Amino acid sequence: MDTVNIKELNERIQKESAFVDILSMEISKVIVGQKHLVENLLIGLLAGGHILLEGVPGLAKTLAINTLASSVNADFNRIQFTPDLLPADVLGTLIYSQKSEQFQIKKGPIFANFILADEINRSPAKVQSALLEAMQEKQVTIGDQTFKLPEPFLVMATQNPIEQEGTYPLPEAQVDRFMLKVVVSYPKKEEEKLIIRMNNSGSFPKANAVLTPEDIIKARDVVKDVYMDEKIERYIVDIVYATRTPEEYGLGKLKDLIAYGGSPRASISLAMASKAYAFIKRRGYVIPEDVRAVCYEVLRHRIGLTYEAEAENITTENIISEVLNAVEVP
Amino acid sequence: MRRTLIFGLLALVLGMGNLSGQELVSSALSRDTIMIGDHVEWVSKFNLPSHFTLKIDSMAGYVVPGVELIGEFKIDTVSKRRGISQVEARATLTSFDSGSYKIPPLVVYIYNGEHLEDTLRLKELPLEVTTVPIDTASYQMFDLRSNFNYPVTVAEVAAWSGLGLAVVALIVLAVYLIRRYRKRDNPVDSRPQKREAAHIVALRELDNISQEKLWQDGKEKLFYTKVTDALRVYIEERFMVKTMERTSAEILLELSDKELDASDRKILEEIFAVSDFVKFAKYRATQQENEETIPKAVKFVTNTYLRDE
């Protein structure tokens, strides 16, 4: 039997993941509270997955990714999605230069390590498709030339849940490309008090660059090495299957509430996010707690609800809770 | 000539009648006064030569307006003596209207064989029909009586009764089948069954695991999986905490508000920690850890099982 020395594995992870604490500390200098958001940003960063953020305006979504970019010493671009935005405005285009009498490539704002696609649902499908294709392929073609996107490449898209008029909701197939969907909530009272103080003091703290993009790429390789037992794999598959065929897991009552369950990409994302979470927790192996910790973020945008569920105000979070309460933990 | 003969015979009969004190023809009502709706017998008697027959003119329906003939005249020979037959004709009359009536003369045809010998018209009969006297002092008006319901015959109800019985039989059969189906679906005896105590089940399971010598055969993962499963089942039964769908940390967290000694909690933490390492981290437990796991689990169960007060 191929054995792993748990002590050795943990020691390695302890060493390699030391930057997580430093990074978290640096981000927390600027971002008050929102630990959940920061933790999920790190999971997305380490697992190589993009993040869809949902939350009302003013919850430090932009500030969070800006601070992360500053901490990693990486390029950061913000793209405000508007109804008149065109794919070329995101990806780049060919511009005719009168001086050189040639078409020159003008790269779009997507050429950065960290992208904040603000209010992604305000732009029509063609712009969303352009961004999501780039997210998936990690390359962009302008004219007859294809350009690789820089590594690490992390897109954090936001959408406002309270405004629906004049928006173009992301199709299910495109939402599936986001590894995590994080719902950002309001800060606590004490945290909000601190935010007021920080803003009123006039000297707003800035995050220092404590990492390089290369460190992140290296860390991603280590995350891939985090050990995931076959029992955990089966647990992940059981959870995803329970969203597809709930009646097989004694959840017959959910059958009429779920239009479609998680895709195989959900299983992959759940496994990757669990590994990243185990890494953040400085463990060299995945335990069921890791899976459960990231389950809501990975699955909430991948489960389709029926009209019956919507009529009864049942959310995907309710479905995930039911699934986690029914699937046996290894 | 023939007419002379008949009158001669009638004169003879009349003479004989006179001799015996009998009338040749008589007609009378059994009562001359009746209450409205009552029946009265109308009896007419004739003394005729034996070979003579008589026929009464049929008077169907009202004899007179207000008086009604019930049924046909019934003609009967009462006696025969010395060539003379006494024939009686009876009828029943009624009236539904009060008043004084005169029953019209009865018309009788006398036949000698096929030949009509004579026609007799009997005397009119008086009939007084009285009504119920109304007591005006205590007069009380009654409503019209409802239609009279004739009793239903067996033949009329037989078909419906059969249908009703068939429906009842079907209901009984359906109830029987449903009960039988449910019983088969849920074969649990309705009588309360004695359940084994959780600690007995857990200790037996731990003993079985020990005898299987799993870790000795290199099946450490299976060994720790079985031990933790046995403990989870025990904890679920003993502390009413959902365990099979919970992680080790969640189980320990839920046990934090239960009555559990710190030493027992420590035992459980140690078993879960080693088990999670083996199950999820490819950790190869030391021989000491393997040897101590079952005794620790047994100790946890024996220390925490629910004792009778």
- The nearest CA of chain B is from the CA of A299 a distance in Å of 18
What pLDDT score does A169 carry?
A: 82
Is the distance from CB of A149 to CB of A213 less than 8 angstroms? no
**Measured distance CA(B255)–CA(B272) in Å, rounded:** 13
Residues of A in contact with B229 (CB under 8 A): none
pLDDT in the model for residue B186: 65
Q: How confident is the model at residue A10 (pLDDT cuts 50, 70, 90)?
A: confident
Q: What is the Cα–Cα distance from A122 to B262, expressed in whole angstroms?
A: 57
Query: Does the pLDDT at position A299 exceed 90?
Result: yes
What average pLDDT does chain B have? 83
Under 8 Å between Cβ of B296 and B226 = no
Contact of B217 with chain A, judged by CB distance below 8 Å, is answered with no
Which one has a higher pLDDT value, B215 or B61? Answer: B215
**CB-CB neighbors (< 8 A) of B247 in chain A:** 287-289, 292, 329
**SS3 state at A245:** coil
With 0.80 as the threshold, say if the pTM is over it. no
What's the N-to-C CA distance of chain B in angstroms?
137
SS (H, E, C) B44-112: EEEEEECCEEEEECCCCCEEECCEEEEEEEEEEEEEEECCEEEEEEEEEEEECCCEEEEECCCEEEEEE
Predicted pLDDT of residue A238: 94
What is the pLDDT confidence band of residue B15, given thresholds at 50, 70 and 90? very low
User: What is the CB neighbour count within 10 angstroms for residue B207?
Assistant: 13
> How far is CA B223 from each of CA A146, B248, B301, B304, rounded to the nearest angstrom?
55, 16, 18, 22
- Closest-CA distance, B154 to chain A, in angstroms, reads 55
Kindly tell me if the per-residue pLDDT of B136 is higher than 60: yes
The verdict on whether omega for the bond into residue A83 sits within 30 degrees of 0, i.e. cis, is no
Cα B293–Cα B296–Cα B302 angle in degrees, nearest 5: 140
- pLDDT per residue over A241-278, tens digit each? 999 999 998 888 888 999 999 999 999 999 999 999 99
pLDDT in tens, A204-249: 778 888 888 888 888 888 888 888 889 999 999 999 999 999 999 8
- pLDDT for residue B6: 54
Mean per-residue pLDDT, B199-227:
89
B276 against A162, higher pLDDT = B276
Mean pLDDT of chain A: 86
Residue of B249, B279, B282 lying closest to A330 (CB–CB)? B279
Higher pLDDT, B12 or A8: A8
Instruction: Answer whether residue A135 shows pLDDT above 90.
Output: no
Query: B85 in the Ramachandran plot: left (φ > 0), alpha (ψ -120 to 50) or beta?
Result: beta
Calpha distance A228→A286 (Å, rounded): 5
Structural contact between residues B122 and B25, judged by C-beta atoms closer than 8 angstroms: yes
Indicate the range of A8-17, A179-188, A244-253, B33-42 predicted with least confidence: A8-17
> From CA A92, how far away is CA B154, in angstroms rounded?
99
**Per-residue exposure over A155-171, b if at least 16 CB sit within 10 Å of its own CB, e if not:** bbbbbbeeeeeebbebe
Residue B39 has pLDDT above 90, yes or no: yes
The predicted model gives B95-123 an average pLDDT of: 88
- Report whether B134 contacts B80 (CB < 8 A): no
- Residue B156: pLDDT over 90: no
Q: What φ, ψ does residue A209 adopt, rounded to 5°?
A: -75, 115
**pLDDT at position B38 over 70:** yes
* Per-residue confidence (pLDDT) for residue A35, from 0 to 100: 82
| Contact residues for A272 (Cβ-Cβ < 8 A; gap 6+) | A47, A48, A49, A179, A223
| pLDDT for the residue B127 | 92
Which of A113-122, A141-150, A249-258, B62-71 comes out lowest in average pLDDT?
B62-71
Show residues of chain B in contact with A4, CB under 8 Å: 281-283
CB pairs under 8 A between A and B: 51
Quick one: A213 exposed, middle or buried, by C-beta within 10 A (0-12, 13-18, 19+)? middle
Helix (H, G, I), strand (E, B) or coil at A244: helix
Tens digits of residue pLDDT in B185-212:
665 555 666 778 888 898 999 999 988 8
pLDDT at A92 exceeding the cut of 80 = yes
For residue B17, pLDDT over 50 is answered with no
Contact residues for B97 (Cβ-Cβ < 8 A; gap 6+): B36, B66, B129
Query: What are the two backbone dihedrals, phi and then psi, of residue A314, each rounded to the nearest 5 degrees?
Result: -90, 130
Residues ≥6 apart with Cβ < 8 Å to B217: none
Q: Residue A152 above 70 pLDDT?
A: yes
Answer yes or no: do B247 and A4 touch at CB < 8 A. Answer: no
Decide if pLDDT at B309 tops 70.
no
- The three-state secondary structure class of A134 is helix
To the nearest whole angstrom, how far is the Cα of B220 from the nearest Cα of chain A?
A: 11
At CB < 8 Å, which residues of chain A contact B?
Answer: 1-4, 6, 9, 227, 229, 231-232, 284-289, 292, 324-330
**Domains of chain B, first to last:** 2-130 (2.60.40.10), 198-308 (no CATH)
Q: How far is A239 from chain B (nearest CA, A)?
A: 11
> Average pLDDT for residues A162-170, to the nearest whole number?
75
Average pLDDT score over residue span A182-197: 84
| Model pLDDT, residue A30 | 83
Of B188 and A287, the structure prediction assigns the larger pLDDT to A287
Residue whose pair of structure tokens reads 């029992």 in the numeric block: A231
The pLDDT score that the predictor gives to residue B50 is 87
**β-bridge mates for residue A116, sequence order:** A78, A156
Confidence grade of residue A60 (pLDDT, cut at 50, 70, 90): confident
Q: How confident is the model at residue A1 (pLDDT cuts 50, 70, 90)?
A: very low
Helix axes A213-225, A264-280, angle to 10 degrees: 110
Within 13 Å, how many C-alpha atoms sit on residue B142's CB side? 5
Q: Which tens digit of pLDDT belongs to each residue from A63-91?
A: 887 888 888 888 888 899 888 989 899 89
* The pLDDT value given to residue B129: 93
Mean pLDDT of B65-89: 88
What percentage of chain B has pLDDT greater than the value 90? 23
Q: Residues A13-37: what's their mean pLDDT?
A: 82
Flag the least confident range among A194-203, A207-216, B82-91, B223-232.
Answer: A194-203
**Residue A151, C-beta contacts closer than 8 angstroms, at least 6 positions apart:** A113, A138, A213, A217
